[in-house]
Amino acid sequence: MNTDRFADCRGRLDLLADLNAERTDVFAAYDLERLPAAADLEEAVGRHFELVGKTRYDPPRDYPAATWHITLEEISGPFEHTLHRMCERWFFRSEVLAAVPLSPHRENVVNGFLAGLVAAIGNCRTWRVHIAPQCWYGIEWDHVAFEAVDGRYMLSFMRSD
């Protein structure tokens, strides 16, 4: 993993999430994280969501991985092609950002992020992560897991009120 590029990707995600929180009652969270150590990707993703209950709820709650009803769908081909539409949808959610012309400005933002992501984690296998949580998690979300030579990562987009 290229730590400088990883930090750059996280900074871009933080900025775009802040720009897309268009009202005080809408919370946007975009993140790129290293997944917890585990024997395989499914277990690592499960541990990630178990930590959500323990770290993002007040008071902390215990939501075992099974309660998230996690399924993984492998994405074939270069992940940047699949993620392009997802990133464009999430990066330009707010009314203000939705008014940004389709090209070349949006393309520059999305392509710059995806190039940084490729540089940060390198070649990898990629999965869409589907969840059906039993708890309140958000209004909408998308998660993508990456399994690279040096570790496993999760790209997350979420909006909540």
Task: Give me the residue label for tokens 């539409």.
Answer: 85
pLDDT in tens, 16-44: 999 888 765 678 899 999 999 999 999 99
**What confidence tens digit (pLDDT) does each residue in 136-158 have?**
777 889 999 999 999 999 999 99
Of the ranges 18-32, 89-103, 122-136, the best mean pLDDT one: 122-136
Q: Which of 36-40, 98-102, 131-135 has the lowest mean pLDDT?
A: 98-102
With residues binned 3-state (H G I as helix, E B as strand, rest as coil), the percentages for the chain, rounded to 5, are: 45, 25, 30
Domain boundaries, the chain: 3-160
Q: Cα(106)–Cα(93) distance, rounded to whole angstroms? A: 12
- Domain 3-160 of CATH type 3.40.1000: yes
Please give the pLDDT value at position 7: 96
Beta bridge partners of 124: 148
Peptide bond into 104 cis (omega under 30): yes
Record the pTM: 0.91
Distances (CA, A) of 1 to 47, 132, 145, 161: 21, 30, 15, 34
